Amino acid sequence: MSVKTYSLKSDGSKFLSKHFQVREFACKDGSDKILINTDLIDVLERLFSHLNCKAINITSGYRTPSHSVKVGGYATDQHTQGNAADITCKKQDGSLFSSNEICCALEDLNHQGGIGRINKTHSVHVDVRGYKCWFDETNGEKTCSSWYTYLGIQKPVSTVKGDVDGDGKVTTSDARKILRTSSNLEKLSGQAAKNADVNGDGKITPSDARDALRKASGVK
């Protein structure tokens, strides 16, 4: 985690990543100073890719303590520390993703920071506070452990070979679970067991774990 200080006047046009510039995170009160956590930019880029966005609009990024209080926040909240952004996400056809879709997408990415449903239409708060805090501002900031469960949405089932934890990608953690299953140290069932049979021979063996590890490492 690294929070960097920028100047709107000097650094406003600087690109922080492929899709985001410093000026997008400037406080709405016109202050020159801007604090931005590099981890926040990483999360937004991952979300951009996961949703295949046309654009992500930062409706509120860094806030000075006085401005944060003025708009209903706190003088020491995540925005004032450069850790947060309120966003909307645009689809390729120009329409906006719903706030529900964005919250669920961040859950898909296993985001271990703040996710706040600002309204029931399109706006979501995301921050990198360092621990999981998912809350619904439309319902008295009620917290939840899963957006899919809270919103009553059926979570998509991954059918990716090698993906046994259901996050849609193959990682070294998946390979480890497959190896443990092949040694009878762990048990997988349902779609997870089907995905663990990477080579499709009807069995879960160390060979499947090796194939999953190769996929996780990008080796063909």
- List, for residues 126-160, the tens digit of each pLDDT value: 999 999 999 999 999 999 999 999 999 988 888 89
* Beta strands 142-143 and 133-136, pairing class: antiparallel
In order of 42, 137, 193, 199, 201, the CA distances from 160 in angstroms are: 24, 34, 11, 12, 16
Supply the DSSP symbol for 45: H
pTM over 0.75: yes
Provide the 8-state DSSP code for 93.
T
Tens-digit pLDDT profile for residues 26-54: 999 999 999 999 999 999 999 999 899 99
**Looking at the domain that runs over 3-151, which CATH code has it been given?**
3.30.1380
List the chain domain ranges: 3-151, 172-216
CB 99 within 8 A of CB 124: yes
Please give the Cα distance from 180 to 165 (Å, whole number).
Answer: 14
| Identity of the amino acid at 104 | C
Q: Which residue type occupies 143?
A: T
Q: How far apart (Å, rounded) are the C-alpha atoms in residues 136 and 143? A: 6
pLDDT of residue 1: 65
Q: Find, among 172, 181, 173, 189, the residue nearest to 205 by Cα.
A: 181
pLDDT attached to residue 200: 93
- Helices and strands in the chain, H and E counts: 8, 8
Per-residue pLDDT tens for 158-207?
889 999 887 788 999 999 999 999 999 989 888 889 999 999 999 999 99
84-to-34, 62, 141 alpha-carbon distances in Å: 12, 7, 16
Query: Which residues are CB-neighbours of 24 under 8 A, at least 6 positions away?
Result: 58, 61
Distance CA 89, CA 109 (A): 16
pLDDT value at 220 more than 80:
no
pLDDT of residue 198: 95
Q: What is the 3-state secondary structure (H, E, C) of 119-173?
A: CCCCCEEEECCCCCEEEEHHHCCEECCCHHHHHCCCCCCCCCCCCCCCCCCCCHH
